[in-house]
Structure 1
Amino acid sequence: MNDSNRKTNFERIAGNLDNLQNLCCEDPEVKIVLNARTGKEYTAQEAIGCNVHRAMELRHNLAEIIEKKLRPLYICPLCGYELRLNCMETGQRFYFQHTHHKDNCPQMNTQKWSREDILTAKYCGKRESEPHKQLKADLSSILTKDSSFSTIDIEKVVKGIDPTTWRKPDIRANFKNKFNIAFEIQLSTTFLDVVIGRKEFYKKKGDLLVWIFDIFTLNSARMMKLDTFHINNLNALVLDKETLVISRIKNKLHLKCIWVEPSIINNELCHTQKTAIIPFDQFQMSIPSQTIFHYDYKSHFEKAQKELSETQKAKQAQNRINTFFEKFDPAEEDTHQKLCIKLFPEFDLKKTELRWSLTSFLRSMNSARTKDPTISGSGWKYNNFKEIYDNVYKSHTQFYFLFCCATKAYGITEDSVSIIRRKKETWESLKQYGINSKFHHAPIFTELTAQLFPEVMPIYNEIMANEKIQKKCNTSDRVVESCAATPANSGDKSSYKIQYTGNIFEHERAAQWSVFFDYLKLPWTYSSEQINIMNQNISRDFNVYRHQCQFLILKKEEQRYHFKIYEELARLTGKSIVVIDGPPEEDGYSAYLYLHCKNPVHQEIYNNVIAGEPHHFGLARRSVQPELCLCPDMFDFCENHINLAQKSTDDGERPALDGLGSGLQEAYQIASIAKFD
């Protein structure tokens, strides 16, 4: 096979498959065309375009529509006459032309011959040149010696399905007792109408039409040859001196096939001309499409287009990633949602409740991407990744699994005991609850990860493809809502209820904590009524007498909302919010405090010391009545304890009671073993 020189000057544009210029001629007579099937108008330049093969296909389709008298595709929007696509005499540009001109209107036509008769007469008058006769004789002599062919007829009339129609091919022969092949030898101009008419005739007849050339090159072929080339899946068949010699030696018809192969070079679709001598019986043949070819251009073109499209999409995606991170500032949380909405309009990111989740997602993932745990990488005031791990686990739990995937993808290693333990906890939770795990995010963040952090997706997909996780995901009864700030594992609180002491609780943990309060003789009220905060329905659960806060109990595997939602609830109710995650067991839960501070100094203390930190309960000393305190898990000094009754009853030197002798241990034991109907 030989490659053609891709820098060749082409005499006719239809041979230049790499053309990038618009193919419409300058100042065309028909400037506007109307698609009669869609009702849309286009300029001639828009309808013709730059792609040579597409323009040739349009040219053939219009000719075929006219030939078969089908419903018009393009018409003149002013007069309504049907249009065809012609090529200029120079062969370099195309233009639309009316099928009927004012001086050639059917009502004024006195000729008795049809257009087909006139064109056929012109064709027949031109084809019988001496070279034509010689090539026909050569082909006939080869066919008579080739055992694949029989019943060889030369210029014999073939009647159509309609007995009033007929054709007289150069040669007609039966191929392997399967079907007849009509060979047409073409050395000079043949009108496109004739090509289309003969193609339809033999298709209806059940024969295969094969056009044979004496020479063919893309850079110098005449328009008729290029028409046939494009119709025939961009394959041209040539019988020349070289193939005649081979055919006579082997007593078997061989033809030279010229085709083009599409490929992607420098992110552009390019074509290369190829040539090979092929035995006739090795060609692919199709009577329905009336094609005979060695190289399936159509399928390879579609594959190349798909590859180019994927390459362009990948480039666009990378450009969007670059643009995003050029403008992204982890510390400027007010800009995060706006930036995502602007660069990812295909996602529904305008919901108010997504604002804080987006910030948590972007900060944690970007810290891993940049390998920077400080404020410049994460937007948080941390110094190492141990602190980032702790923060995401405690305050942004739904992103913990995704963050672990990101740290692995970006080569960040943390081997502390607590991180290893939490990763095991995450794995067990995923195996048990699948996408409903409290450590798994809402689906929209998977999509954003694929867009902004594509390096993470192979690890995420590999873990989620685990058989145990897939089984749990596929059998999950609960539908996870995309683009919701509601935790993916929040569950359906109406699935079951528990009755105890005349109250109806939404879930078992709430009932267990009521036993805890009862044992400590803390009067309480319970309500399943919900309040809408940032489009999320929040249950207020317990009010405990003399305590200036509300206790919210998370259901098993339910995760906390973003802290801004709880702070807003605190602002609206005028009470602190204590979120309890876990059952009333000594080491089985964590309590989180959320405040709304009007005093900026208090707000700063809250942000730096309290917010997002896990606590456990203690009892205040020297109080007349029981008062709950929150004791930080990481400290054991009185100044870090928070009296939820807002009574300063401690002496400032001793910690609140949270162990033996306080009654808490007994309360945990009684509450944890309580049974309910």
Structure 2
Amino acid sequence: MATRTIELVYDNHSHMQVTADSVLDGDDAHKHQLRLEDEVVRLEDGRRRYTCPYCLEPLSIRGSTDRIYHFAHPRNPGAECPYRSGFVLSKDEWEALSYNGAKESAAHRQVKSWIAESLRADRNIAADSVVEDERMQSWRDRSKWRKPDVRASRDGKTLVFEAQLSTTFVATIAARRKFYLGEGALLFWIFREFTLSESEMRFSERDVFYNNNWNIFAIDAHSVEASRQAGELQLWCRWQEPVAQGGSIQYRWHKKLVGFSELTLDFGRQRAFYFDFEAALKEANAKLMGEKAAAFHEERRARQFENRPYISPRVEAKLDTDIAVWLGLEARYATMSSDLERVWIAADEATKFSTRRVQDYAYAVLAPYLRAACPTAPKTLEGREDLRLILGALISLRLGRIVGSRAVNLKHLEDMVFGAAFGYYSVFWYAAGIHGRLSDIGYDVRDSIASRNYGIYRQKKNDNDEVRTADFDRAFYILFPELQPAR
């Protein structure tokens, strides 16, 4: 009685490995239609539709008296096969046989030829460096080697290409990645075709796609011709772009024919990509966080206005909207330092809005971000004139001119910080040194006001360390990155 012992077959029409169950599911009529179709294919081109992924022998569909339909090898096979011989193989050995078998298909040979032809058309790749199916032996351990489909050299770097048509086990992908990483080479997985629907992506495609910064490459006759015309390797690239929309991150598919010079080569992480998904995702998340923070801020302001009946909430909200449009403020860590500086300068030049109101609005927008990294940062500048003063003072030191305060010059600004923001005086003194403003303030003159104030501060701090206000330290590092190495 026949049993279904062959679990995996190679479909020469779809150019992929499929399970026997997926082909032989259905009623008897379906199976007999498949049998006839298989014979028609054999008569037309001399080969069967299905082959064994291990020994590459053609397979036929047979059935037994008890209606168990199965795939079978030829009665007189030309090669030994683990399926037929009953060899006991490990999981890795089975996967290696399957992978190597798939590489011998006509479709695989076509893709391999396209890759080599495109590389030879690239003016930056030496034609004699392009080799197919040649063993690459490890220079670290001579007992280890791989045989990539195509290998070439560009700018002194070794590039290896594997044509990917069928299911490749993640263990095979990982093993090859590890080998080429150790050899200083960069591995490209090249597909013949793949879907733009994430739900329909095969596991092997996902293993490559998600680990290649959400980029995946393909080749066809059109891209080969484009390589010849451009004098540079051209590949189809598909990627997903993350976009903040409707309160969540949405992913949009894109497709483009890209040249090799447009790719980012990351040898250390074994990646090559056209679109930097990770950077785009970080930016989209920052934008989303900004939208949520702004919504939270507006909701909080609305609750606060309910307790202030003498000010019209509608008028207050409109004024803030006008300020937001005027400033064009977009709060996120990547631009927060420049945004704060821009706001403090804009506040000095404001005619429609008061300086304090512009500063208050900007800080309220930035506060949720600052508090995420520095929980001790206050929610508002209300009642915190010391903080308002030191923020303006640090920006003034960076610019070399006064913004955001009534100080006449940097010497006057130092004295104001000493008197009204004493807890932050050490921050001011350190920033003055970072920006080369010590002599402008007078710290280099022994009997100057600045030197006297600094001496008093040091004495008080030595007597009691709590005179230094530390609630904003981590926030300072975000707003003024140049201060980070010191305090």
TM-score class, shorter-chain normalisation, is 0.3 to 0.5
As a proportion of its length, which structure holds more helix? Answer: 2
Q: Normalized against structure 1, the TM-score is what? A: 0.35
Q: Normalized against structure 2, the TM-score is what? A: 0.48
